[in-house]
Amino acid sequence: NRIVMMPMGTNYGEQNGEMSFLHINYYKERAKGGTGLIIVENASVDSPQGSNGTTQLRIDHDNYLPRLYKFCEEIHKYGTCIAIQINHAGASAVSARTNMQPVSASDIPSKEGGEIPRPLSVEEIHHIVKKYGEAAKRAQAAGFDAVEIHAGHSYLISQFLSPLTNKRTDEFGGSVENRTRFCRMVIEEVRKQVGPFFPIMLRLSADELMEGGNTLEDTLEYLEYIQDEVDIFDVSCGLNGSIQYQIDANYLPDGWRSYMAKAVKEKYGKPCITVGNIRDPKVAEDILARGDADLGGMGRGLIADPEWVNKVEFGNECDIRKCISCNIGCAGHRIGLNQPIRCTVNPAVNTGEDYMKHKVNKPCNVVVIGGGTAGLEAACTAAEVGCTTYLIEKKAELCGLASVISRIPDKKRLADFPNYMIHRARKLHNLFIFTNTGATAELVKSLNPDIIVNATGSVPTLPPITGLHDLVLLRVTSIDEVINLTAFLPAESALQPEGLLHTRGMAASGLRPLCNIPHCCLP
């Protein structure tokens, strides 16, 4: 199939840079889920100088081969092809983690307020080129089916390609031909090491989406100098300074970047991967049908649901747990907090649905109080392992604030999670849901609970915004009124409609269908 899992850092690696068994489980779930090609997260070609994380994978020494070989063996059991991305972080490295000053094309930080790197000497550039080739050779020896060179997203090769970070005056700076020289040397060295029949992919920021940076037209020009030995273009976009496009914000539509892949494909006639908030199978199919790209790349979507491909293939699209592009557990945990990745909508990133293999061995009644997303998750999980489960919700509508907030236009992607949870709940015959029902002591006691789950939510804090505390005294009866009330705020107020929905007493009324997914297989 044409679905590719894109390379995303996880912080699952061992401290020495070796692939962990946690890693293997994580990728195995996506292979079992039917993914056609998995591109493993970026592995450092030259540590510690080129490392971009505390537990980043390494591929700069032969002692990492045994675990990588075992990994490839495991993934290939499921018929999935597998590649690995090789990378040098350059100025995106952090000295607090590497104990070294970052390096780059010039002394320009990779982001505003970032560390100032030192420019690489010509001798150092040639050394790093060799390290890329050696890393690719190891990937081939370990059993990978292809190798991807990262030339985007403000990493070292990108720092040479971009006029924003390359201010050199030697043969590696200035003209387009000079700025592409380092990348061209890396590709040529990789080809020399792996031979003519091993696929080389190149990930690039086709449009840097920053003033003074490479535009799509610029990229189409510079690819003339580096495209000869590339077999597949992985067409991404953005730099650290435009990260809302690199790691797509939730308001960006499904598949919005596909025009970039189309431009590269039309000019160079080589297979292209497109990425960008691809959540809806129909969007993915349309991209292929239009010929915009040859492969559909999914990253966070496969963190949220490793079974995405199988569910689409076998007609179970209603069961997809779609990524809501919140960027909290995947990007925020890893980049902001330097923690292993998690997922807001998938509590079992590494283990998938293995918990359902372990059923209760005696009758067990579970009562869940509160029908928000947390309450539904608890209730569904309990029912799926065999408990007789009762969910009590005092309102007419399930999924709480998540359902209400999703009616704001820029938050509409959030609706995918309530829809999924309600659909999942309705399929469970041992889960009984009471709406418009208060959880009195008498009711709870009558259900003979062995376990009681309190999922009644929280009371958000009101921010200190001028006029807000007076505004919350008004009665709100519909989502339209909530949005319209922003007109009454003082001009200096920075409050957004979604902020209003978080305040006490401002719950919108009105019923919604229990499952509003188009063409749902349930009534």
292 Cβ neighbours under 8 A, 6+ residues apart: 258, 259, 261, 262, 265, 274
pTM for this entry: 0.86
Distance of alpha carbon 390 from alpha carbon 387, whole angstroms:
9
Cα distances (Å, whole numbers) of residue 161 to 43, 103, 259, 394: 20, 15, 21, 58
Cα–Cα nearest to 69, from 148, 147, 139 = 139
pLDDT by residue, tens only, the chain of 523 residues: 999 999 999 999 998 999 999 999 999 999 999 999 999 999 999 999 999 877 899 999 999 999 999 999 999 999 999 999 999 999 999 888 889 999 999 999 999 888 999 999 999 999 999 999 999 999 999 999 999 999 999 999 999 999 999 999 999 999 999 999 999 999 999 999 999 999 999 999 999 999 999 999 999 999 999 999 999 999 999 999 999 999 999 899 999 999 999 999 999 999 999 999 999 999 999 999 999 999 999 999 999 999 999 999 999 999 999 999 999 989 888 887 888 899 999 999 988 888 888 899 999 999 999 999 999 999 999 999 999 999 999 999 999 888 888 888 888 999 999 999 999 999 999 999 999 999 999 999 999 999 999 999 877 777 888 887 776 655 444 444 444 444 444 444 444 433 333 322 223 323 233 333 343 333 3
The C-alpha torsion from 46 through 51 and 57 to 60, rounded to 10°, is 10
Cα dihedral 94→234→136→186 (10° resolution): -80
* 345, 323 contact by CB (below 8 A): yes
With helix as H, strand as E and coil as C, how does 275-305 read? CCCCCCHHHHHHHHHHCCCCEEEECHHHHHC
- What pLDDT is attached to residue 505? 29
Cα separation, 149 vs 160, in Å, equals: 14
pLDDT at 462: 76
Report DSSP state, residue 328. Answer: I
Q: Give CA–CA dist 59/19, Å, rounded.
A: 10
DSSP track, 398-437:
SSHHHHHHTTSGGGGGGGHHHHHHHHHHHT-TTEEEE-S-
- CA–CA dist 307, 313 (Å, integer): 10
**Secondary structure letter of residue 477 according to DSSP:** -
pLDDT of residue 353: 81
Rounded to an integer, what distance in angstroms lies between the CA atom of residue 188 and that of residue 238? 25
Residues annotated as catalytic are 155
Count the residues in the chain: 523
> How many angstroms separate the CA atoms of 136 and 139, rounded?
5
CA distance 478 to 247: 33
Among residues 287, 274, 300, which one has the least CA distance to residue 8?
A: 300
Burial of 239 (0-12, 13-18, 19+ CB in 10 A): buried
The H-assigned helical ranges of 152-209 are 156-161, 176-179, 181-194
Cα 255 to Cα 203, 310, 311, 357, 410: the distances in Å are 17, 20, 19, 35, 16
Question: Left (φ > 0), alpha (ψ -120 to 50) or beta: where does 12 sit?
Answer: alpha
pLDDT value of residue 83: 98
Helix (H) or strand (E) holding 42: strand 37-44
Q: Where are the alpha helices (DSSP H) in 478-517?
A: 479-484, 497-501
pLDDT for res 375: 96
Q: How would you label 74-111 residue by residue, b for 16+ Cβ within 10 Å and e otherwise?
A: bbeebebbbbbbbbbbbbbbbeebbeeebbbbbebbbe
264 dihedral zone (left: phi>0; alpha: psi -120 to 50; beta): alpha
